[in-house]
Amino acid sequence: MKHIAFALALLLSGTALSCTAGAVNAQVLTLLTEEYPPYNFTRDGVITGAAVEQAELIMKALGTPYALDILPWARALSLAESQPWTCAFTTGHDEERHKRFKWVEPLLVDRMVMLRKIGSGINPAGIEEAKRFTIGTQRGDFSSTFLENHAFPKIDLATDIETTLRKLLGDRIDLMVTSEKTFEAMRDEGKAVEPALLLEGKLYGFACNLALPDTVVKGMQTQLEKLIADGTQDRIFAKYGIRSHR
């Protein structure tokens, strides 16, 4: 009986160790995003959007377990930088962020634009003239870095783009910075905004924690390039009314 009990204990111990090892190996990749239609947003309690659909196809192709969540952008980007196995998207890739993350891109290629409320009459001829006005954007957004780097004196920071838009339409700010494709979506939805000044272009993608294994990053990049090459990315863009500028 002692031999049987000892053998049973070994069997149970081995099973427990096997389960533990399996749990360790089955790393879950956390994908964090924000409310920023048409790329990532919540509809009827479900996270969706042009970038989200690409992320889901990439993860499905890799077979990597993942969790998807929406947070205020500054929080999402901070967690991606501090927490292993975490990526934030859809993230503008600029010089300031370059070495802070591992990158998988492009989920899209776009340009920044300053928007005004239709009828406001605000019409800056260039960046220097735009500095006269109060410019709205979101905390942690790469456009806030752009404004800071160009010494804009009056920057109004919000937690999300919907708040920034409400401020613009409510005459609480003079201009707001967003992507050209986001403006196009706003226009198609009938929002009373129009371009005031076209700014520089950017690649947008996944900004992943530096501890994320290169094999995972390479796998994500390979699958994204397949989506681009076979036309899937453009079909997703068309579904959300996004015009491809590639």
Is 50 exceeded by the pLDDT of residue 20?
Answer: no
Q: How far is CA 4 from the centre of its chain?
A: 57
pLDDT tier, 246 (very low <50, low <70, confident <90, very high otherwise)? low
Choice between 17 and 90, residue whose per-residue pLDDT is larger: 90
Q: How far is CA 193 from the centre of its chain?
A: 23
Task: Map 85-137 to HEC letters.
Answer: CEEEEEEEECCCCHHHCEEEEEEEEEEEEEEEECCCCCCCCCHHHHCCCCEEE
| pLDDT at position 21 | 32
Distance CA 54, CA 48 (A): 10
**Alpha-carbon distance values, 211 to 83, 86, 189 (Å):** 8, 9, 40
Distance CA 161, CA 177 (A): 10
Burial class (CB in 10 A: 0-12, 13-18, 19+), 228: middle
Residue-wise pLDDT for 60-79, tens only, equals 999 999 999 999 999 999 99
Domains defined along the chain, listed by start: 29-109+203-239 (3.40.190.10), 110-202 (3.40.190.10)
Task: Give the three-class secondary structure for 188.
Answer: helix
**Alpha-carbon distance values, 166 to 71, 73, 94, 121, 193 (Å):** 19, 17, 27, 18, 11
Stretch (H or E) spanning 158? strand 155-158
Residue-wise pLDDT for 153-168, tens only, equals 999 999 999 999 999 9
pTM, entire model: 0.74
Stretch (H or E) spanning 234? helix 232-239
Is 60 exceeded by the pLDDT of residue 83?
Answer: yes
Average pLDDT of the chain, as a whole number: 89
Provide the β-strand partners of residue 111: 201
Distance CA 203, CA 111 (A): 9
Residue-wise pLDDT for 119-134, tens only, equals 999 999 999 999 999 9
142: tokens are 């790469």
125: tokens are 């001829």
- What is residue 192's DSSP assignment? S
Amino acid residing at 122: I
